[in-house]
Structure 1
Amino acid sequence: MSRNQATLIGFSAVALWALLALFTVASAPVPPLQLNALCFAIGGSIGLIWVAATEGFTVLRQVSWKVYAFGTAALFGYHLIYFSALRLAPPAEASLIAYLWPLLIVVFSGLLPGERLNRLHVFGAVVAFAGAALIVARGGISASAESLPGYGLAFLCALTWSGYSLLSRRMGKVPTAAVAVYCLATAVLSAIAHLALEETLWPAGATGWGAVIALGLGPVGLAFYTWDVGVKRGDIQMLGTASYAAPLLSTLALIGAGIAAASPVLVLAAAMIAAGAFLAAMGSRQG
């Protein structure tokens, strides 16, 4: 598999994550941790089916328990911290801070073996982040001292996912099949946390169940496998910058479904995200 092919596979994760908000809205009234448990169970199960049909389960026994612990802590930890941040701080601000992870991937990718970081990479990521900020914070920003714990957790979110992505790059020899175990373990931990912290509410009708299944198959399933391929074998700086397209594509999906309204801000945001991706691509060519 070439570097460009792996990068394109990684892009598919960003496209799938763009459907996260749409399917999550349709899955109401399922609470976050319960939804996590259901979706990761589906995502992990399809992974096991794929492993059984290709490499076989022997490949999973060859992976160290430390790697499984790392992947599970990252997937479960990120979602638990993110949900906690949204409870303790205004959603727009918390989401914006959490969405620093692509920028952190780009900035710290220069520390990885064989990677070179230049000014175009950083500038492109900053421009794309500004474009994403226009979308995430379009309802306005209202920072407050009471929300500081939530802001801190949101930043911890960004550190968690960027750290997971960068360290996955370092563990390039670990097979993507290991992600199936990460997902199943995350489902178990999410179920335990749900029972301790939330009231159990099931999806409403066929539409709700369809949304849960779609989440498990795509944004909370296949996306983690393709992201693993992308960060391990693709252009990680380009992937980091392109990840800012997710909030834009997510908003467009909500508009297409009639859940959100179109806005001139989206045009400017799209231009900024595209410009940021272009700058990052130019930086990769120079590297």
Structure 2
Amino acid sequence: MTTSPRAFLRPERLAVLAAAVTVALWASAFVSIRSAGEAYSPGALALGRLLSGTVVIGLIWAVRREGLPPRAAWPGIAVSGVLWFGLYMVALNWGEQLVDAGTAALVVNIGPLIMALLGALLLKETLPPRLLAGMAVSFAGAVIVGLSMSGGGDASLLGVALCLVAALTYASGVVAQKPALRYASPLQVTTFGCAIGAAACLPFAGVLVDEAAHAPLSATLNMVYLGVFPTALAFTTWAYALARTTAGRMGATTYAVPAIVVLLSWVLLDEVPGWLTLLGGAFCLAGVAVSRSRPRGSASTAAAAPGADGDTEGSEGSEVSASQRVRPGS
């Protein structure tokens, strides 16, 4: 049976596509961070990434003339901007310089678990059995990938702590961003969140200028890439998808990142993964599939009662009511 273009462009399909773009670009960021981190310190790298991201997404925002976000959206934008765009990036950049990739991936990937719990506690989101089961499978896969890539090296206690800070700020920023998307568009939320994150990192401006003068071109290009694609583009597609599902379900989707990182490292860095790493990656992807699946019969129920914007997300994890949908910005 052929799928019509209109059916493919339904909101729930576009949300899945947006989430897939986000996951792929965030996975590529790990490779770029590792490369750029050889020439740039954590704070300078975060600021350079956020500045380039703000310029690009700011131009798009200006061309589209979406205007300023409504007043009700600003608290969530400000909190997510400081925590997720600012502190998270500095902590992650620093943490990856002190621990091996496996340990970093393992610690940061507790973020979706924290996200789901905070979403249930603060946003009153449900935790369907399939979501919990999928997260458990994916977390097991992240553990396998982490152990297989650690190489038996000693992990810095400070590095582990920084990766834990990254996980906490990542989860907290997402949960803070979700309410803002009830009032502002994904582009507005991402544009001003990125700008606020850049402002929070301005104390590193002097270091960035000094390091940019001596950094190789490849490192600087990697920093710009991080700003344009994994930040400006990927954070916008993330916000679009997040507005149409729950924080817990979106968090579970990001468990695919370690599996994609393994493949990218294989292709770009010629790091051949072992069978244990491949097994862990398979677990990560399987968990995402389980978490996004629906019980039999839910699709027909959803089709009979579509949401205000045409979203036909199944009853499981579809607690995004009409009042929680994205509203046009001012």
Alignment of structure 1 residues 172-211 onto 2, 5 Å: 172-176=182-186, 177-193=188-204, 195=206, 200-201=211-212, 202-205=214-217, 207-211=218-222
Given that residues 11 and 230 in structure 1 are in contact (C-alpha distance below 8 angstroms), is that contact kept between their aligned partners in structure 2? no
Which residue among 265, 271, 274 is the counterpart of 1:254? Answer: 265
TM-score (norm 1): 0.83
Q: CA deviation at 1:131?
A: 0.9
Instruction: State the aligned residue count.
Output: 283
In the alignment, structure 1 residue 118 sits paired with structure 2 residue 128: yes
Residue 104 of structure 1 deviates from its aligned partner by 2.3
* Inter-partner Cα distance in structure 1 for 2:98 and 2:24: 29
Percent identity, aligned pairs only, is 20
Match of 2:168 in 1: 159
1:83 CA displacement: 4.0
- Match for 1:101: what amino acid? G
Deviations 1:192-235 (A, max 9, x none): 13647997254313x33332222211112211111111212235
Q: Provide the residue aligned with 2:328 in structure 1.
A: none
**Residues 1:241 and 1:141: Cα distance change in structure 2 (over 3 Å):** farther
Q: Deviations over 1:20-57 (max 9, x none)?
A: 1222234341222212111111111111111111134x
Tell me how large the CA RMSD over aligned residues is.
3.0
One-letter code aligned to 2:215: P
Residue from 47, 54, 57 that aligns with 2:64: 54
- In the TM superposition, what are the counterparts of 1:77-156 in structure 2 within 5 Å? 77-86=87-96, 92-111=102-121, 115-138=125-148, 139-140=150-151, 147=157, 150-156=159-165
Q: Secondary structure at the match of 2:281?
A: helix
The reply on whether 1:274 has 2:322 as its aligned counterpart is no
What is the aligned counterpart of 1:22 among 31, 45, 56? 31
Counterpart for residue 228 of structure 1: 239
Change (3 A) 1:108 1:185: closer
List alignment gaps of at least 5 residues for structure 1. Answer: none
Q: Secondary structure at the match of 1:218?
A: helix
Secondary structure in 1 matching 2:201: helix
Aligned match of 1:219: 230
Distance in 2 (alpha carbons) for counterparts of 1:208 and 1:83: 14
| Structure 2 counterpart of 1:243, one-letter code | T
Match of 2:21 among 12, 16, 20: 12
1:65 offset after TM fit, Å?
A: 4.9
Cα distance 1:258–1:98, how it changes in 2: closer, same or farther (>3 A)? Answer: closer
* Larger displacement relative to structure 2 (191-200 or 127-136): 191-200
In structure 1, the residue matched to 2:302 is none
Instruction: Give the drift of 1:62.
Output: 5.0
Take 1:274 and 1:218, find their aligned partners in 2: how far apart are those partners? 23
Gaps of 5+ in 2: 1-9, 296-313, 317-330
Aligned twin of 2:250: 239
Distance 2:229 2:15 in 1: 18
Residues 261, 37 of structure 1: CA spacing in aligned structure 2 closer, same or farther, 3 A cutoff? same
Residue 142 (structure 1) shift: 6.6
Kept after mapping to 2: 8 A contact 1:85/1:94? yes
- Equivalent-residue separation in structure 1 for 2:228 and 2:127 (angstroms): 34
Letter in 2 for 1:45: V
Question: Could you tell me whether the CA contact under 8 Å between 1:4 and 1:234 is conserved in 2?
Answer: no
Q: Which moved more, 1:188-197 or 1:117-126?
A: 188-197
CA contact (8 A) 2:259 2:285 kept: no
Question: Aligned partners of 1:115, 1:42: CA distance in 2, in Å?
Answer: 34
Q: Could you tell me which amino acid in structure 1 is paired with residue 191 of structure 2? A: A
Alpha carbons of structure 1 residues 126 and 78: separation in structure 2 relative to 1, 3 Å: same
Q: CA deviation at 1:18?
A: 1.0
Q: Which of the two has higher C-alpha Rg?
A: 2
Structure 1 SS opposite 2:68:
helix
> CA 1:65 to 1:262, structure 2 compared with 1: closer, same or farther past 3 Å?
closer
Kindly provide the amino acid, as one letter, of the partner of residue 30 in structure 2: A
TM-score, normalised to structure 2's length?
0.74
Structure 1 position 249, deviation (Å): 0.7
Cα distance change of structure 1 residues 3 and 110 upon mapping to structure 2, 3 Å threshold = farther
Which has the larger displacement, 82-91 or 175-184? 82-91
